[in-house]
Structures are given as structure tokens and as C-alpha cells.
Structure 1
Amino acid sequence: MNTEPPAAAVRRIVLLAGPSGSGKGRLGALAGIPLVQLDDFYRDGDEPGLPQRFGIVDWDHPASWKGDDALQALIALCHEDSVRIPTYSIPRSARTGTQTIRAAGFPIVLAEGVFAAELVEPLQRLGLLADGIVLDRPTALVTGLRVARDVRERRKPLPTIMRRAVGLARSQKTDVATWASKGLRPLGFRDALTRVRALMTAADAQTERAGRTEQVAEPPVITVSAVCFTHFTPPGPGVPNGQWRLFSVRKKGTDRFMQPGGKPEPGETAVQAAVREVKEELNISLAPHQLVELGSHRTMAANEAGHALEGTVFLAPQVHNPTDMAIRAELEEARWIDIENPSDDVPIAPLMREFILPALRERLR
């Protein structure tokens, strides 16, 4: 690909991927920022040599899409206030015209589509990537939304829609993992929308300070230590395979659950901060050697809008009696979260959803 940009960028791109029907377009509409729908760069359905699947063109294969055109359009939009791109008809499998995307006054632009992950590396290399997200939602929900949309919009004949629905449902977990491996962060719908809005808030503040002629800076970073307490319920009624749960807390004046922990004091190491915070918040005394470091992860802060968070995560000894866990200090509520199937009704912090739960699933299997 030709990826040489003009000299000075005035905005950057947030990439949004996800399975067909996962809600990318709806999130883009709710985000309130300029939106580039990467589907508009599909190839015409009568072009020779297109990949085939389910008896039709495989529209989920990157070869069905003009990635170089999409990249060049996004590069242009990072340096100019508007760009002309194609208009594409999914039912007709053809380009039907052109449209103008206008981004004047916005420091970030959202680009959504199933091929967004293909643009992570070139945009990152050019310094034009603000963030990358992949929507990770339950397969049954995504399949239902996809079928309802495709039938409503008469995208394809019904037998083709159903064959495609079954095939994509079977591959959804693998597809999301593949996109994540290319640099996209798996998030649920609400957390993804919150993240995009936080990026916009941070970028607006930076642009107001520095002026639109300078490239938008990364949001300020908060460093924290987080401690995971787990409990295993043996197999029994309602839990035939047993159940691993994760202790989570909510601070006063906030709405998201997270792990006990907090910011290190001057001179403290990450593990020292973890030990101190657990004592302050839960009145549990731990020695540093009792904590196993699971790793570090950068994401958006849950409670400080416009800030990034660098979290070092530790695993504490297993809890044998969950009723022994009591909160104090600035904590207001505690809940045990199902590690394998966390409820969508419980709002959880990005660090837990993106890193802690996947790391624990892998470790506890």
C-alpha cells in the first residue's frame, strides 16, 4: 500500500470492527462524531475473482474490499476537513455514487466495518490511530440482530441469509480473537461507546489547548494496581461444572465495578501499592509474595473521563468463604462476577472486561 501522508495531521482515526450485525453502525450513530463506513469500499459484486462462500461472494473476506482506497481516504481525512468516498449498496452489491465526509472541528473520526483490523498497522505506523475497538457481544444476540437486519433490508434471499447466519455464528468467537490479535480491544457495546466518547472529550480538550494545527496528543495516563480475589463454587445444582467468580467493588459516587486497588504512593512499587490498598479497602493483610502478577494493560480509565489507565494486575490467594469479604473506606458496593459469563446488567470497568476476565479464564481453565 502507498502510505505516505501529507506533512501535518489535524485529526486521528478510531477504528471499530465487529461481526456483521454486532451494532457497529448504531454505535457510530450514537458516538456523535464523523463516521466513515468502511463497507462503502466493497468491490462490485460482478468483479472477476472475488472469493466465494455460502454460494455467494464472501463479503467477510478482505479480498472483497478495496483496502488501499479506504486507507487513502482515511489518511486524507486526517489532514483535510472533508473527503469524497464511494456510496455502496449492499442489496445491489455495487457502488451507486459518491458522498462527502466532513470532519471540520472534530479531532477524531470513527471508521467502522468488518475489515477495520486491516488498517490498524498502517494507521499506527503513520501516527494516525487514536484507538482500535472490536465489539465483543454474545453470539446469539449478534446472530439475531444480523438476521433481522438482513431480512428487513432484503440484503439477500432468505436461504442465503440463514446459511450465512449459521456460518458466521460458528466463526464469531474465532473472528473476534483474530481481530483482537491485530491490535483491536474487545469491548461490549456500552463500554465501546463510553470509550469513544472519552477519546473525543480528551481530544477536544487537547485541541482547545494546543490548536488544531498540532496533532492530537494521547490522553494523560493514570497508573494503578488492581488485585483479583477469586472463589470457586464446586459443581452442584445450577452449576453442573462449577463456577469461578471474581470479587469486584464500586467506589462511592461511581457506577462501574472494578477490582480493589488504587494508585501507588510516591516511592511505592506496584505490588507494594496493591498490598496497601487491599489493607485499606478490605482490611485484608497480604504479603507481597502472596500476590501473583498477571500482567499490565493500558485502557481508558473508568471513572476519570478523558484519562487513560495503566493497570498492573495481581492475583491474590483464592477466597474460600466469599461472605468473609467486607468493604470499607471509599467503597460503597461489592459484587461477585461470573468469570465465564459476566452479566451485561452489571457495568464493569474496561480493565476488567478487556484484560482481567480474559486472563483469568485462560489461567483458571
Structure 2
Amino acid sequence: MKLAYFVHDLNDPAVARRVRMLRAGGAEPVVLGFYRGDAPPDMIAGAEAIDLGRTYDGRLGHRARATLAAALGVGRLREILAGAEVVLARSLEMLLVAVAARRLCATSAGVVYECLDIHRMMLGQNLSSRTMRGLERALMRRCSLLVVSSPAFTREYFEALQGLGPDAPPPVLLLENKVLELDEPSLSRARERERSAARPWRIAWLGAIRCRRSLDILTDLARRRPDLVDVRIHGRPAYSEFADFAAQTTQTPNLMFGGAYVADDLPRLYGDADFCWAIDYMEEGQNSAWLLPNRVYESSRFGATPIALKGVETGRFLEARGFGVRLADGLDIEAFLDQLTPEAYAALRTRLQAAPSHDFYADRSDCLALVETLSAARRLPTDGGK
């Protein structure tokens, strides 16, 4: 099955992971999208990558203009998209481009909308927010499938605000942000640390680093209590969200920013940690309360106990599975760690190790199931073929 995958950032590691899933499931994807960073890749996980232009974090006006220009210029992609049976769009901006591309270049393809975040712009009651939701509803009428990474996105947004339901398609596929393991799992779920469980407790914060309040909590605690915590941050910071990320991380004792990483680093980074910071305040009460981030699956897979908030979807995920730490507020981390004994820590690890491992990783059977679902979506109507 030939598949055209429209993405917001060709350099996003999560895009490469999805491409690996698609290829492992039997699809033949070509990836088209914008890029952030210095240069776009020519290939992504063995698939051809087509550059649609550069965009930037936080510059929504520029992204809107780039999206419109890409949608208006999709005619030049006709040869690349010829024969595509499915058009998959990652994010709303790419859905606009994908729907235009389907109409002009791949008229028999099914359209699938992959929504992995709900931007705060979509949630207001002002004219711009209502207009964006109206645009999304119009584009979704042309879709044969909606893919979400958290059930709260469906419950709290698509059903509550966008009217999705039995009489208002498309159908929904829940595709969680699990660790991808295509070969026989050979990595230890919970690599034992080389030192005894004792203070300072090591907290790992990995992935998309974009929450200013989380950084403030962790740097303040590391500065005041070097006896209690050792914080390790790795990933891709959204520098526009911080006053001075570099200064804050380099000037804080007992806190280290290690830069970007690749998937093969995860067993080491989490295996060397006691806990994973899975708290996010960036869009408190909205997207931050609904998402299930990569880090909750990765840390659980590789043995670092996740720390989340009660009352949000990540906290409910941990509660349902009987492991992890759930706090009323991120500031409670100091009191929790102050009272943590080696025996209580060992009990936390035991509960984590007892959780079903397949809750945290996807294998080849999951990839095959995904592509089979996408293949079925190509046979569903997409707004009368318009």
C-alpha cells in the first residue's frame, strides 16, 4: 500500500518512529512536510522525504502562511503522490495540505487525520479559535479515520467540542505513544542501577522539553536540595517557552542538560534514573491534562518510575495499572522524596515490574494491525470523494 504521510516537522524523531511502524506493517510511505532546524533529511527511516519548506517553533503566523502556500502548490506533487491509496496527515495544518493534495493528485485515496496534541488556539471562544475549529470540522468530513494518542483527546475535545460521535464520523483509532520494538524484545525492562537506592534520587526528564513551570520546580529543588535530587534532562527544548533555558540549566548544581538523544539511548538514560518526570503544565487544564506522553511509556518500559499529577490522563493511566507516583502538585515532589525510604522505593519498582510489559511497547503485530486499519480506511467514503 502506497501511503503519503504529511508531517509538520521532517526532523521530529516521532515522525521517524511512525514511518518505521508503517514500513514494518507493509506500507510504502513517502513523507512530505515542513522542517525545523538547519536542514531537512532526504530519507526518513528508509522512506523518501519531500521538503515543503522551513517553519519555526512559536511563529504561528509564519506557519499559517507556509501551510496555505503548500496547500495551494500541491499540484507540483502530482507525480510523487500518484498511486497513493492513503493520505495520512499529522496535525491540523498538515491535514489542510493533505486534503488539497488528495483532491488534486490522489483522488481515490482515503484521508486519515493523526492528532497527537490539541493546541490551545483550538480551545478558546474568540473568533480565531471558533474559526479554527470550524476549519477542522470541515476537513474532518473528508476523513475516513481519526487517529489519537490519548482517549482524553476524543472524550474532552473531539466529542465535547467538535461533536464527534456515532452520527458524526470519522471513526477513531487510539494509537498510543509506545516504545517501538520491531525485533524480539532483548532489552531489560528495568535495568538494575549500579548503585544502591539512596539519596540523591535521580529524576530523568526526557523528550520534548517545553514546560517552563516544570523546569522552575526542578531547578529550584536541585539548587536548594543537592542532597535530595539529581536531575538529568535530555531532549529537544522548545527554547521559545523559556526565558533563558541555557542559563537556567548550566547554572544549577545537581542538574544537567545532556542534549538530544536517539531511541537506543533510552535504556541507559532511564536505566540510570530512579524516577521520570511526567508532569506537564504547559497547557494546564487543556492539552497537558489530556495527553499521554512518550515518556510515560519509555520510562515504564526501562525501569524509571513515572511521576505524574492526579486528575490528569497520565495520572489515570498510572492509577489504572497500579504503579507510579501521583502527586496533587509538582511542588509536592520535595516532601515525597524526603519521606521516601529504600524499602518504599523497592516497592515502587516491584509494582512497576509487575505491570504488563505490552502496555509500554509496540511490536510488529501492532504495526501490521495499524497498516491493516489504514488499508480499511481507504475503502471508506471521504465526503463523497470531493
Give me the TM-score of the superposition, normalised by structure 1: 0.26
Give me the TM-score of the superposition, normalised by structure 2: 0.25
- Bigger share in strand: 1
Question: Whose Rg is larger?
Answer: 1
